[in-house]
A and B are shown apart, each in its own frame.
Chain A
Amino acid sequence: MKNNTWTIIKKEFARFFGDRQLLFTTVIMPGLLIYLVYSLMGEGIGKMVTEGRDDVVTVRVENMPEFLATEIVTDSQLVVLEQPFGQEDIDMLSDENLNIVMVRFPKDFELLTSVYDPQSGLPAPNVEIYYNSTNNASSLVYKTLTMFLDAYESGLSNRFDVNRAEDGKEAQFDMATEDSIGAMIWSKILPMLIIMMLFSGTMAIAPSAIAGEKERGTIATLLVTPMRRNELALGKIVSLSCIALLSGISSFIGIALSLPKMISGEDVELGFNYTFPDYAALFLVILASVLIMASAVSLLSALAKDVKSAGTMITPFMLVVMLAGLLPLMQSSVPESFTTFIIPFYNSIEVMTAVFSHKLDWGNVGICLASNVVYTGIAVWGLTRMFNSEKVMFGR
């Protein structure tokens, strides 16, 4: 009995350790991926925390108390202007490109806080800080000021409030528009979701269409017809792209319908205002992404001897694409360098991020499309060579 158990164990180990591909994906790849993902995330989070820290921010203060003046005037990153401001000035803050924070203290703030009795039931003096949460620098200064004032307030035994809503009305101190908040959130979430949905669609069909044909022996039946190998390669990639696109659209509709439900519990209203050019650019870039995904997955599938090994080969690649999809979460603005838009997958993600951030640049869309078409052409050439290679097609 024991001998049989040991025989089975040995057989399973021989099966596992004898398969280098399985060994790599099961033992080496998880550790490697965790290292890569966590390193990238750590770097990203660090970047998010420090983003905007070096920007110069103008702080307009009305009725500046002395304790604050001594604190913030010395900060070289802040340009402090002591001047009153009105609603018109506050409305300017909705422009997310302006690094401005406006702080309004009640007149004679220090006197008011010294005479205020927290037991009286009367509202405490209120400090209003207006900022724009979609501007990193403005948001960072707002957080710093709030922390400073909270600490100061604790020292005074809660004798004033910061950004208190008056008379039950919802006060608006964050001047970011619903549209810009929406744009910020969508630009961070949707590119990754779209890319993942498209990739899942491609993954679901490409291995079966190419590695599956090898496994089932049906590819040879096609290869003995007079059809040119490049026609076969192009036919495979285009058809797979179309099907993956349909799958991606289905997933996207699902996301679009479920997102309002997902955020319905939140206090914020997220705008989703995109124009026809935005949708057109998005469609084009999705098309280009699908082409290049189908190309890459087809190449890997052609190398694999069957559907199972195709899945094993594609998994690490999928994780790399996922990582690329996470990058917008870690950056505050769309990179402007030319090279960004020629890196496959990353270029699509960045163009989508730009579209959702209302920063559509047709030049970048063009570069992304052109480079993806070139890569697809290269993939068709590669796949043609693979269909021509007896080692790849019939190798055991």
Chain B
Amino acid sequence: MEEILRVEGISKTFTLSKKQQQIERTTQRKKVAVDNLSFTANRGEIFGLLGPNGAGKTTTLRMLSTLIKADTGDAVLDGCSINSDPEGVRSKIGFLTSELKLEDFFTPNYLFDFFSRLHQVPDDIVKTRKEQMFARFGIDKFAEVKVKNLSTGMKQKLSLVISLVHDPEVIIFDEPTNGLDVLTARTVTDYLQELRDQGKTIILSTHIFSLVERLCDRVGIIIDGRMISCGTLEEVCNGLSIEDRFFEIFKEVKGDEQ
């Protein structure tokens, strides 16, 4: 298998405001979100980061997408370093999270063209790709409807389509089915498998065990910002279900703290 992503010892520490200290119920000014995390992902596989809320999954994906900088360490994605070539990294990834929104004043048609231009996609390819993607997700009928007038499910499908306008080699999804209705969630997970079959690499974060079991070729379990276990499902699960194995690991790491 060809390695397409190598993450080496990335860390991220946040300085908490007083308000955040109250929310986190801590007196510490610093919070280590990601602690010396390393893993690799291969071309044509779905790699899942599994962990509880606050484990550092989202922070990791935001560092990989260059939205935030790693304090230490590096990640090289298809030859581009997140530290020295963030533009290169961004040109090779499609990043989707529920935090990323689309301007609701515009239509799907306009947004597809706009983001294609930002990704330097040639005009002739844009036209064909738009037709295919819109048809695949049923957006074609709403291509000229402003985003604000689309249903929530349609908005989410459009966000997915927009994140893939440039046909990226690596797709990074933070909680891909979070907040989706069951039909849209199914459409998204089916599409992720389609993408994998096309040779794309998908890095996703989730806390849903069934999703990991159904989609992921390899999985990394993160707790408190550290990679506790990483490998194929068989390697990580050690004969157990992913859910049982996760709680076993969690108990080893945290004791009875939960």
A residues apposed to B, CB below 8 Å: 213, 216-218, 220-228, 390, 394, 396
CB pair A390 B91 closer than 8 Å: no
Chain B residues lying within 8 Å of A224, measured Cβ to Cβ, are 65-67, 90, 93, 95, 100, 163
Partner among B17, B67, B104 whose Cβ is within 8 Å of the Cβ of A394: B67
**Interface size of B as a range:** 20 to 34
Pairs A-B, 8 closest by C-beta atoms:
A217-B101, A226-B91, A390-B68, A225-B118, A226-B90, A221-B100, A224-B95, A226-B87
Q: Which residue of A lies closest to B66 (CB)?
A: A224
With known contacts A223-B67, A226-B88, A226-B120, A396–B20 Cβ distance under 8 A: yes
Q: How far is the CA of A394 from the CA of B12 in the complex (A)?
A: 15
C-alpha spacing A213/B115, complex, angstroms: 16
A390 touches B88 (CB 8 A): no
Enumerate chain B residues within 8 angstroms of A222, measured Cβ to Cβ.
118
The A-B contact count (CB < 8 A) is: 51
Residues of B within 8 A of A (CB): 17, 19-20, 65-69, 87-88, 90-91, 93, 95, 99-104, 115, 118-120, 162-163
Q: Which residue of B lies closest to A220 (CB)?
A: B100
A228 touching B87, Cβ below 8 Å: yes
In the bound complex, residues from chain A placing their C-beta under 8 Å from that of B91 are 226
Q: A226 to B103, Cβ gap below 8 A?
A: no
Q: Note all chain B residues with C-beta closer than 8 A to A221.
A: 100-102, 162
Q: Is the interface of A mostly helix, strand, loop or mixed?
A: helix
Looking at the assembled complex, report how far the CB atom of B78 sits from the nearest CB atom of chain A, in whole angstroms. 13
A226-B87, A226-B118 given as contacts; is B103 within 8 A of A220 (CB)?
no
Residue of A whose beta carbon sits closest to that of B103: A218
Bound-state CA distance A36–B218 (Å) is 66
Q: Which B residues are CB-close (under 8 A) to A226?
A: 87-88, 90-91, 118-120
User: Once the chains bind, are A218 and B101 in contact (CB under 8 Å)?
Assistant: yes
In the assembled complex, the Cα of A220 lies from the Cα of B159 at a distance in Å of 13
Q: Which residues of A contact B118 (CB under 8 A)?
A: 222, 225-227
Instruction: Give the distance in Å from the alpha carbon of A396 to the alpha carbon of B95 in the complex.
Output: 22
Contact A390 B115 (CB under 8 A): no
